Structure 1
Amino acid sequence: MNTELPLKNNIKDVRLDLNITQADLAETVGVSRNTIVSIENGKYTPNAKLALLICIALEKKFEELFFFDSDPDAE
């Protein structure tokens, strides 16, 4: 398995669909709004605990929010 595949997410899309602000999500999961911004932008990969807290807060399964980008050069 290629461990260099970037972990992507669609947290922003789900969050907006649920009308949840970055600040609200951050408060719910116990991090700063800047952390949520960094996760959504792919600048920071959350640890397992934070990823699961985000899943719970957004009422989604892990695989519904996080995925590997099979073509990291396509952007």
Structure 2
Amino acid sequence: MFKVWLMVAFFHTPEMPSVKYQALLFETEDLCMENLVSFLNTYERKSDLYKMTTKADAHCLEFESFEIKRFKNIGS
């Protein structure tokens, strides 16, 4: 098994019937955290009106995975 990192971003607006999410997979915790910070900084740069009507949050989660061929630099 391999350790990978999953960044899950959550979005919600008053018009949405539920919370939407997007998940991205990363080879390392550092890559996941860099992307998490970038995502949150992008949200913070949005207008106050946008932030009043759109809530967003994100988390990096450790995940045990089978081998993923495009991830060549991770070991078990």
TM-score normalised over the length of structure 2: 0.31
Larger RCO, structures 1/2 (Cα 8 Å, 6+ apart): 2
